[in-house]
């Protein structure tokens, strides 16, 4: 039991602390040069799947049309996935030739929409975005300059979350994304990142492959990994910035994280070849940044149970049990603070960490029993 306890705790510390320290140090000591060229202006197609986005779609259209890029070299292609609100009416009313919309009657899910609209695009570079994401004017230029390097197959930009009400969800997600962005920067500097952010990433058109539609899978996870399978790199560009409103509360973010977790577990059969240690750095990142991270809630359960079983074996186990209970008590206090006062206060990190790992467990269960719906419900902001 003592050995099992140490394994569980060691893996948690590895994925959250030791691995990040390893890749950051590696990136600073042995960075890989990526060729860039500000003057290249390949044709670009922005690809946006939408479902019932009437509250944001008009703003998104305006944003697409104000991007700083030659008008004759960029288009925005929208696919409406059986929207039942005013989304289709708003898209149809846009008379600008740079915008094309495909309005589907039946709701089939985001992956089906992408499979349908990508073949309709004309650009050499595909920029994937969300309907509620706002790009800085220079974001597309910052993305495409990296395609001067023939080893680069895709570029991931930086998403910044906006939380106007200073809510717990915004604080938690903001902290999480700052942490993730540090890892992406380091992994891309060494060789490649193994996931993007669906709000802002670009790929070469020839690297796109039809997405599996039999179950829900995150496109911003599978598409970058397919690029890596083709022996191309996916890098991170922090100067390509987009903004998005954070979920209004932790409960809304929990719902979104459950869906993402289920989709990520569903993707594992499609990436088994990249988990082989023979893939070197790619396998290291997948195991360290993804697979072990997704296993944290189960490792935490194992650590708590084994800690209780070896509690009388030494004072160190009393200390470790106390630290674990501190996290869970902090999460409970954060939850109560959020429910009663609308803010978790100083307990926010514990509250967010435990809540998101609970979402991982539920997502795993939904993946296991195939209960996660293919079509998505947007979290209201």
Examine the pLDDT at 229 and tell me if it is beyond 90: yes
On whether the 44-285 domain is CATH 3.60.10.10, my answer is no
Using alpha carbons only, what angle is made at residue 321 by residues 319 and 322, rounded to the nearest 5 degrees? 65
313 — pLDDT class (breaks 50, 70, 90): confident
- Condensed to tens digits (0 to 9), the pLDDT of residues 331-365 reads 999 989 888 887 888 888 899 899 999 999 999 99
Q: Tokens 């669906």 identify what position? A: 198
Strand-by-strand arrangement of the 125-130 sheet: 99-104, 74-81, 44-50, 125-130, 200-204, 152-162, 233-245, 134-135
Chain center to CA of 6: 30
Q: What is the pLDDT of residue 23?
A: 96
Domain boundaries along the sequence of the chain: 44-285
Using alpha carbons only, what angle is made at residue 178 by residues 258 and 19, rounded to the nearest 5 degrees? 85
Judge contact between 173 and 247, C-beta under 8 A: yes
Judge contact between 193 and 199, C-beta under 8 A: no
Q: What is the pLDDT of residue 246?
A: 75
- Condensed to tens digits (0 to 9), the pLDDT of residues 119-133 reads 999 999 999 999 999
Q: What is the pLDDT of residue 346?
A: 87
Q: What is the pLDDT of residue 372?
A: 63
Examine the pLDDT at 164 and tell me if it is beyond 90: no
Which residues, at least 6 apart from 226, have a Cβ–Cβ distance to it below 8 Å? Answer: 207, 209
Spatial separation of the C-alpha atoms in residues 161 and 174, rounded to whole Å = 6
Q: Which residue has the higher pLDDT, 314 or 102?
A: 102
User: What are the backbone angles phi and psi of residue 201, rounded to the nearest 5°?
Assistant: -155, 155
């Amino acid at each position: 039991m003592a050995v099992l306890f140490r394994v569980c705790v060691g893996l948690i510390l590895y994925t959250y602390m030791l691995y990040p320290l390893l890749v950051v140090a590696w990136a600073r000591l042995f960075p890989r040069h990526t060729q860039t060229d500000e003057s290249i202006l390949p044709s670009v197609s922005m690809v946006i799947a939408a479902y019932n986005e009437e509250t944001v779609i008009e703003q998104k259209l305006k944003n697409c049309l104000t991007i700083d890029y030659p008008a004759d070299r960029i288009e925005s292609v929208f696919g409406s996935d059986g929207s039942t609100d005013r989304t289709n009416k708003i898209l149809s009313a846009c008379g600008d030739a740079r915008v094309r919309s495909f309005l589907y009657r039946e709701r089939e899910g985001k992956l089906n929409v992408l499979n349908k609209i990508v073949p309709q695009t004309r650009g050499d570079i595909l920029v994937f975005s969300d309907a509620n994401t706002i790009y800085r004017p220079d974001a597309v230029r910052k993305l495409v300059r990296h395609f001067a390097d023939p080893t680069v197959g895709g570029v991931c930009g930086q998403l910044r979350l906006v939380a106007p009400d200073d809510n717990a969800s915004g604080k938690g997600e903001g902290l999480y994304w700052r942490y993730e962005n540090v890892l992406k920067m380091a992994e891309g500097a060494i060789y490649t990142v193994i996931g993007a952010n669906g709000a802002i990433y670009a790929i070469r058109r020839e690297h796109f492959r039809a997405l599996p539609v039999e179950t829900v899978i995150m496109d911003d996870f599978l598409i970058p990994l397919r690029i890596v399978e083709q022996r191309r790199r996916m890098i991170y560009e922090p100067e390509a910035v987009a903004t998005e409103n954070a979920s209004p509360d932790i409960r809304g973010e929990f719902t979104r994280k459950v869906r993402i977790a289920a989709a990520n577990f569903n993707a594992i059969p499609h990436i088994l070849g990249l988990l082989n240690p023979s893939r070197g750095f790619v396998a290291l990142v997948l195991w360290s940044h993804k697979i072990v991270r997704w296993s944290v809630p189960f490792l935490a359960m194992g650590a708590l149970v084994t800690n209780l079983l070896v509690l009388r074996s030494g004072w160190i186990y009393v200390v470790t049990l106390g630290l674990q209970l501190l996290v869970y008590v902090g999460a409970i206090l954060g939850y109560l603070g959020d429910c009663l006062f609308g803010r978790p206060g100083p307990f926010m990190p514990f509250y967010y960490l435990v809540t998101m790992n609970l979402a991982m467990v539920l997502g795993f269960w939904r993946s296991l029993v195939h209960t996660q719906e293919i079509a998505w419900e947007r979290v209201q902001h």
